[in-house]
Each structure stands twice: as C-alpha cells, then as structure tokens.
C-alpha cells in the first residue's frame, strides 16, 4: 500500500509532526510505503514565528505542491493535513486534487473559522465553505476533538473519527523530584498563543509569582512574554521540550472562550499530564474532557478561580503529586501514541482496502 502524506509543514511544525509524522513507524509496520511532502519548509516557519511572510517562498511552496500532485495518482491513499492549497477557493482545490487515491483529511484546529469568520466579506463568500467541501470530499476525516468532528459530520463527511493529538509516552515521562525549593508554574507554546491566551492573564499571575517561593517558566513565548520578576522565558526546541516541562511543577492552559479556541485539541495539557504535572485550564472546548476537575487538575473560569486553583496547588505538594499521577494515567490510557498509533494505521489500511468512497 502506497501512502502520500501532504503535511502543512516539515518536522519543525508541531501540527505536522504530531498529527502525521509520528505515526510513520506504525504505518510502515502495517504495510504502508510512506512518502511525505510538506507544503512549507522550515525557513518559512521560522519567518512566520518572527512575524514575517515571504510571498516568493509561498509561491514556491505552492508550485512544489502542484508539481507533486501531478504524480499523486500513483498512491493508494493521500493523508492530507487540512487542505491542499491554503487561501485558494474550492474550485482550485478540486481541480488539482488527484482522482485516483482515497483521501484522508486531518484537522487539529478549527481552520474553517479562519475563512467563515474572516472580517472580509469577500473571503467569507469565496472561502467560507471551503473546508466543509474538503471534508465532504474526503473518504475519512480524522478530527482532533468533538467540536471538529461535529463540523465534519454536519459538512456531510461520510466517515469521521476522533483522533486526539497524542504524545509518545516512551519519550514523555514523569518529572524527577526537584532538588531546588519553590514551585514553578509553567506554560509551553508559541509567541502568538502567548499573546492571545496568557498575556490577558498576566496581572493575576504576577500577584502569585514572587521569584522565590513561586516562579514562572514560559517556553516558546519569545519576546512577547517581556520581562517580569520571577518569570523565565526559554526558547522552544524539540530536543528540550520534555526536559523543560519536567522543570515545571504546575502546567497551565488559559483560553478565551471563542469559536477558534473551542477547536483546540488541548495538546499542552496532554504534554503536562504526560510528565506527571497537575494542570489548571480554562473550561473551553476539549479542555473540559481532558481535565477531570479535582482529579488531575482544576478547571478555572474567573480570575478568582484561577488564583484559588494555583494557590491550592502551590500550598499542597501531596495534592500536586496525586493529581499528576492521575493525569499521567489518563494520558497513557487515552492520549498516547501507544494507543492511537495502531488505531490510525488500521483506519488508513481500511481506507486503502476500500478505495475511494466518492
């Protein structure tokens, strides 16, 4: 069986690394010959994180994608991350889509809201239903959570499966006991998510963090995090991200309650919990499924609830240990590559055997 993965990014892009690339060993073990073609390269992603977009590199990326699609009929299955050609209308997407292979499309966020809730009326008219049509035209949609799965079902997709964004539990392990005193609250992400999600919450955090008994570690926030007493900012790297999370005592995931955020897959929470951390999160979208309030962490809506949850965990090390252990067990049972790797391989093999449903 021949499989072509059309990812959004190369390995540096978290969505592509986690939604498709980490499954390759399981796919190969199931009998797939795998070829992977990212739309954007690492240089593009670096410029994107630094707030720059190079139109020439984007045109080159689209040209490479179109050339690759010309030979795509040689494959049995195409595993597509989100869409073939971002910001081009469905007509162009359908024109370049190969007719032979079965299509499996994959979503880990509410990409459709980037189009159907765009401030430009023209964008909403031209692209508002594009992702619904991609989903409807797919033989299988893999959705990272119920919100995305419901959208795919309403769009008319013939087959939808929920596959959360998972961690490899052989890589992510519980943190070792820290030799230093004090409690470290932590967060991991990108500069954009810091600005959207954490920055509005900084004032109550600053009231808790004193730089001695309580510190804050922000991984991947970049210059957006600024500087404040007791706050440490580290650059993200794939090689260090597990060790960085293991330097934390409590993991947080604040989210504003918006349609876009309801489509998030809660991956930060899964990372924290895999490392044995208790968590505090906003009860938005899948967060409310991942976090069992009072068992593996706390759900907090108001500023007062956030402060109370953090202060409780800071004051009670045994509670942190107990919640962290419960979170680790939940990840092993429901959010691990060890559970979902074989499952995804079986799903794609079933698609390959059945061919195109369209």
CATH of the domain at 192: 3.40.50.2000
Which of 287, 354, 347, 357 has its CA nearest to residue 30? 347
Q: What is the pTM of this model?
A: 0.93
Confidence (pLDDT) at 203: 87
Question: How many domains is the chain partitioned into structurally?
Answer: 2
Q: Are 30 and 347 a contacting pair, CB within 8 Å?
A: no
Residue 174, in any domain of the structure: no
> Above 90 in pLDDT, residue 223?
no
Confidence (pLDDT) at 357: 44
Confidence (pLDDT) at 358: 40
Tell me which of 354 and 69 has the higher pLDDT: 69
User: What value does the mean pLDDT take over residues 120-135?
Assistant: 98
Residue 176, in any domain of the structure: no
Same domain? 304 vs 348: no
Cβ within 8 Å of residue 352, ≥6 positions away: 1, 3, 32, 76, 77, 102
**Residue written as tokens 């190079």?**
54
> Above 50 in pLDDT, residue 7?
yes
Same domain? 230 vs 144: no
Confidence (pLDDT) at 256: 96
Percent of the residues in the chain that have a pLDDT greater than 70, as a whole number: 96
Give the Å distances, CA to CA, from 211 to 207, 227, 251, 320. Answer: 11, 12, 17, 20
Mean pLDDT over all residues of the chain? 94
Residue 291, in any domain of the structure: yes
pLDDT band with cut points at 50, 70 and 90 for residue 346 = very high
Same domain? 227 vs 269: yes
Residue 35, in any domain of the structure: yes
Percent of the residues in the chain that have a pLDDT greater than 90, as a whole number: 84
pLDDT band with cut points at 50, 70 and 90 for residue 11 = confident
> Above 50 in pLDDT, residue 195?
yes
Encode pLDDT of 281-318 as tens digits.
999 999 999 999 999 999 999 999 999 999 999 999 99
Residue 82 CA to residue 10 CA, distance in Å, equals 14
> Above 80 in pLDDT, residue 47?
no
Residue 275, in any domain of the structure: yes
Residue 343, in any domain of the structure: yes
Residue 197, in any domain of the structure: yes
pLDDT band with cut points at 50, 70 and 90 for residue 55 = confident
Same domain? 62 vs 72: yes
Same domain? 270 vs 134: no
Confidence (pLDDT) at 49: 64
Same domain? 13 vs 70: yes
Confidence (pLDDT) at 230: 86
Same domain? 161 vs 13: yes
128: three-class secondary structure by DSSP: coil
71-85, 133-147, 209-223 — which is least confidently predicted? 209-223
User: What value does the mean pLDDT take over residues 66-77?
Assistant: 96
Residue 334 CA to residue 251 CA, distance in Å, equals 19
Same domain? 146 vs 204: no
Instruction: Describe the chain by its helix, strand, coil percentages, rounded to 5.
Output: 50, 15, 35
Confidence (pLDDT) at 179: 59
Tell me which of 230 and 339 has the higher pLDDT: 339
Identify the domain containing residue 272 by its residue range.
183-334
Confidence (pLDDT) at 51: 66
User: What value does the mean pLDDT take over residues 309-335?
Assistant: 98
> Above 70 in pLDDT, residue 355?
no
Same domain? 107 vs 217: no
Q: Are 202 and 208 a contacting pair, CB within 8 Å?
A: no
Residue 287, in any domain of the structure: yes
Same domain? 151 vs 8: yes
Instruction: Looking at mean pLDDT, say which of 4-13, 31-40, 194-203 comes out highest.
Output: 31-40
Same domain? 212 vs 307: yes
Same domain? 316 vs 349: no
Which of 5, 17, 4 has its CA nearest to residue 108? 17
> Above 70 in pLDDT, residue 50?
no
Widest CA span in the chain: 62
């Amino acid at each position: 069986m021949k499989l072509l993965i059309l990812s959004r990014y190369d390995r540096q892009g978290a969505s592509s690394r986690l939604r498709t690339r980490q499954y390759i060993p399981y796919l190969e073990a199931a009998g797939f010959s795998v070829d992977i073609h990212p739309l954007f390269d690492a240089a593009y992603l670096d410029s994107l994180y630094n707030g720059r977009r190079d139109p020439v590199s984007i045109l080159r990326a689209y040209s490479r994608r179109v050339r690759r699609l010309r030979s795509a009929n040689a494959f049995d299955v195409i595993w597509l991350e989100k869409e073939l050609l971002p910001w081009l209308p469905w007509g162009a997407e359908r024109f370049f889509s190969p007719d032979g292979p079965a299509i499996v499309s994959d979503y880990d966020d509410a990409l459709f809201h980037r189009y159907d809730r765009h401030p430009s009326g023209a964008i909403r008219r031209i692209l508002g239903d594009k992702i619904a049509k991609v989903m409807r035209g797919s033989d299988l949609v893999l959705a990272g959570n119920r919100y995305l799965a419901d959208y795919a079902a309403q769009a008319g997709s013939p087959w939808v499966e929920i596959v959360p964004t998972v961690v490899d539990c052989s890589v992510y392990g519980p943190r070792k006991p820290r030799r230093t005193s004090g409690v470290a609250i932590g967060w991991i992400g990108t500069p954009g998510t810091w600005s959207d999600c954490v920055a509005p919450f900084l004032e109550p955090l600053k009231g808790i963090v004193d730089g001695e008994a309580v510190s804050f570690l922000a991984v991947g926030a970049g210059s957006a995090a600024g500087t404040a007493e007791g706050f440490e900012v580290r650059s993200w790297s794939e090689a260090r991200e597990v060790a960085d999370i293991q330097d934390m005592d409590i993991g947080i995931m604040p989210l504003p309650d918006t349609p876009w955020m309801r489509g998030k897959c809660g991956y930060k929470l899964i990372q924290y919990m895999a490392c044995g951390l208790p968590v505090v999160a906003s009860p938005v979208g899948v967060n409310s499924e991942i976090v069992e309030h009072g068992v593996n962490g706390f759900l907090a809506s108001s500023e007062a609830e956030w402060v109370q949850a953090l202060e409780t965990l800071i004051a009670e090390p045994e509670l942190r240990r107990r919640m962290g252990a419960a979170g680790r067990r939940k990840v092993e049972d429901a959010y691990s590559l060890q559970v979902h790797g074989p499952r995804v391989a079986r799903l794609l093999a079933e698609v390959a055997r059945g061919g195109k449903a369209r």
